[in-house]
Amino acid sequence: MPRSLSLLCRVIISDGVNFMQAMLAQQHSPLVDSEQIKRHSIISLKEFVCNPLQNRKILILLNFDVVQVDVDSKIGTPASLENSNSPAAASPSTLSVSAVKPELKQEPRNDYNSNFSSGNAANMALDANVTGISNLNPYQTRWHIKARVTQKSDIKKWHNSKSDGQLFSVHLLDSSGEIKATIFTDQVDRFYNLLEEGKVYYISKARVTMARKQFSTLNNEYELIFENGTEIQACEEASNIPQVKYNFVKIADIDKCEKDSNCDVLGVVTEDMGVSEIITKSTGRPLKKRELTLADDSLKTIRITFWGNQAEQFDASGSPVIACKGVRVNDFSGRSLSLSSSAICKVNPNIPEATRLKQWYADKGASSQFNSYSGMVGVSGEGITKRSKITLQEAKDEKLGMGDKPDYFEVRAALAYAKTENFAYAGCPECKKKITLESNGWRCEKCQKTYPTPDYRYILTASIEDATAQIYINMFDDQAKMLMGMSANELMAIKESDNQAAIAAISKMLFNRYNFKLRAKQETYNDITRTKFTCVDLTPVNFIKDSHELIASIDKLIDV
């Protein structure tokens, strides 16, 4: 079948002093056909775009008025702007069209070879009428976007009693926003090898539909479906399209994010728990996972989980900075993050924020004291939220932890007792599970490896009390490390050389006051049911800040 043809008009414009090459936007091509604009015609330029092309600049004339059509000769004796130091003649003014040259443009067919055209003239014409991604909606019929592919998924196939098929998706970005595009069945073979991550394309004639939020991490109400008539054209001039767009949230502010929402986070990997394997409930198949600890200059840490190939391939050596886009916010035992297959993770990205964070960590972050992340439970239904401090007796009176789900609360209390025996366990250096001493070393049954030395991790039993009551709590490695000011390996080394010195180090922490964030949950062991309290975070008491809080509470009581 013959291809349809349309005209692109290249012109030379002059202000009487200089001249330069330009191109009419496609909607103005009929003016040439109807001879409403000719050689030497005079126009008043109102709107334009200036595009670089092979060390030259070419104007795209977007909006202008025709002042005079029939003019006998050009105005003045203009010189080429490329060889002149004069200011550009591109300001809105009265210009003379020195020449009009129609050029044939072949419209692409819907086949493999015609989906891409690298003609610079065609690219400039398309630039003139680009629609921003943020402006797309299902009610538009004619649009095209200029966007960068920031992520391309693997091809996924399905087989069931109704149908067989395949699909993949891409994330598209321009300066106005992002959108997900999904490609199904026959279109997969057509587009998969043509779309490459990092490259820019003109895309049109795709279907705009409501986004399926459960499958997307992007902040857009719509998504695209590529169909048989979808047209894609490669773009070489792409300096105005960003590589990636982040909206980073500080780790200390992630408790403000809703459960199951998505956010972007930038952090230094301070701990790698290694790769482990779980059996998924939905499919019963094994799935690899890797848990990392991230920190940033807000002096908070948070746990992030990688899955599948991302978990197996990630290299945490050298404390890299990672930028994660579209990670899921979880609320299990405090805030944590999950990197789904549709999220993006860049290691040591070349962005200013990552450079600053890496420099901060090298200068002073590595020696800083971090608080582990454990935001209070919000509207997720995981338990009762107690954002303001309560007393231990109030926690008992309200029977926190006795429901079906755990409760979280905060209390200001003093450490009254800490167990000095069995305060740590011998852990696997890779998976952190408990390991046992054998004749040839420390054996991890999970990893099926033997190590010369274990990685000790705290499991501390302590008693805390305030003016109203006393409870026993359990503290794990992150929290006990903040309490003791040293790692379990360091304290075990002291214990092995001088047991009394280790007891003294633990006793030194007694009767100091802390703000504890606690998890309360009933557990049954040997037919005995009791409420177990677990410390999920602690910070030393800031007496000035807490005094202001007490004064504010008293003022409220007086007002009442």
Residue 17 in contact with residue 90, Cβ under 8 Å? no
Q: Report pLDDT for 94.
A: 60
**Beta strands in 189-343, from DSSP E residues, in sequence order:** 200-204, 207-210, 222-226, 231-235, 262-279, 286-295, 300-307, 321-331, 335-339
Q: Report pLDDT for 5.
A: 38
The encoded tokens of residue 364 equal: 């002073």
Q: Report pLDDT for 151.
A: 86
Residue 191 in contact with residue 226, Cβ under 8 Å? yes
Residues whose CB falls within 8 Å of the CB of residue 340, separated by 6 or more in sequence, listed in order: 217, 307, 326, 327, 328
Residue 494 in contact with residue 505, Cβ under 8 Å? yes
**Alpha carbons 29 and 40: distance in angstroms, whole number:** 17
Radius of gyration of the chain from its Cα atoms, rounded to whole angstroms = 33
The dihedral region occupied by 205, where left means phi > 0, alpha psi between -120 and 50, and beta the remainder, is left
- For the chain, domains (ranges, CATH) are 10-79 (2.40.50.140), 123-235 (2.40.50.140), 248-372 (2.40.50.140), 386-423+459-547 (2.40.50.140)
Catalogue the long-range contacts made by 391-398 (C-beta closer than 8 Å, 24 or more residues apart).
391/466, 391/467, 391/468, 391/469, 392/464, 392/465, 392/466, 392/468, 392/469, 392/470, 392/471, 393/468, 393/469, 394/468, 395/469, 395/471, 395/518, 395/520, 396/469, 396/471
**Alpha carbons 265 and 250: distance in angstroms, whole number:** 7
Tens of pLDDT, residue by residue over 484-537, are 989 999 999 999 999 999 999 999 999 999 999 898 888 877 778 889 999 988
In sequence order, what are the beta bridge partners of 524?
529
**Alpha carbons 110 and 121: distance in angstroms, whole number:** 21
Tens of pLDDT, residue by residue over 400-414, are 888 877 888 889 999
Tens of pLDDT, residue by residue over 294-334, are 999 988 889 899 988 888 889 888 889 999 988 988 876 56
Q: Which residues of 38-77 are buried (b: 16+ CB within 10 A; e: fewer)?
A: ebbbbbebeebbebeeeeeebbbbbebeeeeeeeeebbee
The encoded tokens of residue 376 equal: 């209070």
Residues whose CB falls within 8 Å of the CB of residue 476, separated by 6 or more in sequence, listed in order: 457, 458, 459, 460, 534, 535
Q: Report pLDDT for 110.
A: 39
Low-confidence ranges of the chain (pLDDT < 50): 1-7, 86-92, 103-119, 374-387
Q: Which of 373, 298, 382 is nearest to 538 (CA)?
A: 373
Q: What is the pTM of this model?
A: 0.45
Q: Report pLDDT for 379.
A: 33
Pairing of strands 18-24, 5-14: antiparallel
